[in-house]
Amino acid sequence: MSRYILAFDQGTTSSRAIIFDKDYLSVATGQQEFTQHYPNSGWVEHDPEDIWRTTVETGKQALANAQIDIKDIAAIGITNQRETTVVWNRATGKPIYNAIVWQDRRTANLCNELKQKGLEETFSEKTGLLLDPYFSGTKISWILDNVDGARDQAEKGELAFGTIDSFLLWRLTGGKIHATDATNASRTLIYDIHAGAWSDELLEILRIPKSLLPEVKDSAAEFGALDPELFGAAIKITGVAGDQQAATIGQACFDPGMMKSTYGTGCFALLNTGDTPVKSKHKLLTTIAYQLDGKTTYALEGSIFVAGAAVQWLRDGLEIISHAGQSGEFAEEADPTQNVIMVPAFVGLGVPHWDAECRGAIFGLTRATGPREFAKAALEAVCYQTRDLLNAMHADYAGNLETVLRVDGGMVASNWTMQRLADMLGAPVDRPVSAETTALGAAYLAGLHIGFYPDPETFSKAWKCEKQFTPSWSIEQQEDAYARWQDAVRRTLTNY
């Protein structure tokens, strides 16, 4: 009898494969980083072959580390960096251009042109999204318009588009399956989240042939099976969700009003709004949290483009820390009398500003400012931006909000950062026992579909808190610090 679920967690900076047992525990992991490409200012690309190679290799690593055979795997789940866009040739399976990453801003001019034509409300009403380079739709248009022969090939039905989950499904099934799930579809700017279908009107505006698009399925569904030549057996793929939605599931946020926030390269907070899509007045996104048995559950989402990426910048750009964990150590040792504020708008600002052209700034530097103060400012920027997100959610959502924030992602390992987050929010922050909530969400979906894992209510009862961080600041301390942040953001936006 197969005893495990394998989850592929394909992220922005690395690919991982994690094997979970019947008790939702991670038993083995494989992980590989891959190269980031920055061909122009504001452009971010990945080589899809790097993504494919590292996905397969990490799967084999995880199986080897667990000392099990592929036939011990009951099913496979996939979770992925969202919005990142790949177009490939259906006959060869080869991408016609690099993957354009969600962080990429090259289509800002196209988005502005569409706004000037008064089309933003048309997109927003159908998709719940804003007209922004962040999403897949304008990226597809760019590829079709800028790769020789691409538009002609697309019109002939020779090309396929996919977010990373679709690309991996195509490759993992030997080109048999061209599909995605509703959560990933909801991030493309061309999917009507109310009708549950690709929008002909939006496709026409962006000049995208419908033949490019994958079939949209539930998050727990039949997505084909592995090509036996890859791992040695045709194991079914039965769960797919974008990374933030997978983390929402892994955090067991199944009830309306529950919130989670994931701290990876960026930061993404999702609030479950149940079967009601809530339209935001504060530039939050209305999105699909998950879709099970044909029933759609919606969410409000706030995005911070740069979270862990600011720590990577300290390490790789400034070279003032040697590893990510050192940022928390430095922050703890920083001079408390210095009020250095970093606005990490390396690729623009997300909620509540959605300014694609804004770029980063640092305020409050003195002769005494050094690496420790820079580290503290980078980590505090994440906390300030999270408060921006939660303020917007409180303003938009009429239902009862949980007073506790469930957190996950690489940055939550830092006790200093999580304590400062609780201080800034004035609310408890819960860090779960399972640090692998994104991969666990994908594994749970896969296991749910085949009966390996129980219903959501039973799964929710298994969720456990490893540590709760409670606020230690006074209201006055919170407000003073937040006012400094707001002033720095105003100055940054003014300068650009």
Mean pLDDT confidence for 189-199: 97
pLDDT score at 468 = 95
Residue range 280-297: average pLDDT? 94
The two tokens of residue 318 are 């400034």
Q: How far is CA 118 from CA 115, 129, 389, in A?
A: 5, 15, 26
Helix (H, G, I), strand (E, B) or coil at 127: helix
Structure confidence at residue 399 (pLDDT): 75
Q: How far apart are CA 71 and CA 69, in angstroms?
A: 5
Domains of the chain: 4-243 (3.30.420.40), 252-432+464-496 (3.30.420.40)
Residue 495: predicted pLDDT = 65
pLDDT of residue 194: 96
Question: What is the helix (H) or strand (E) element at residue 140, kind and residue range?
Answer: helix 136-146
Residue 350 CB burial class (10 angstroms; 0-12, 13-18, ≥19) = buried
- The pTM score is 0.88
Instruction: Answer whether 287's CB lies under 8 Å from 128's CB.
Output: yes
Choose among 245, 235, 193: nearest CA to 216.
193
What band does 400 get if pLDDT is binned at 50, 70 and 90?
confident
Element containing residue 446 per DSSP (H, E): helix 437-450
pLDDT, tens digit (0-9, with 9 covering 90-100), for 309-344: 899 899 999 999 888 888 989 999 999 999 999 999
Residue 342, CB-side half-sphere exposure with 13 Å CA sphere: 23
The per-residue pLDDT for 432 is: 93
Residue-level pLDDT at 493:
87
**Euclidean distance between CA atoms 380 and 16, whole angstroms:** 28
The string of pLDDT tens digits covering residues 40-91 is 988 999 999 999 999 999 999 999 999 999 999 999 999 999 999 999 999 9
| Per-residue pLDDT tens digits for 256-269 | 989 999 898 888 89
Relative to beta strand 73-80, strand 4-10 is parallel
* Residue 43 and residue 31 in contact, taking contact as beta carbons nearer than 8 Å: no
The whole-number pLDDT of residue 282 equals: 87
User: pLDDT tens digit string along 419-458?
Assistant: 999 999 999 999 998 878 999 999 999 999 999 999 999 9
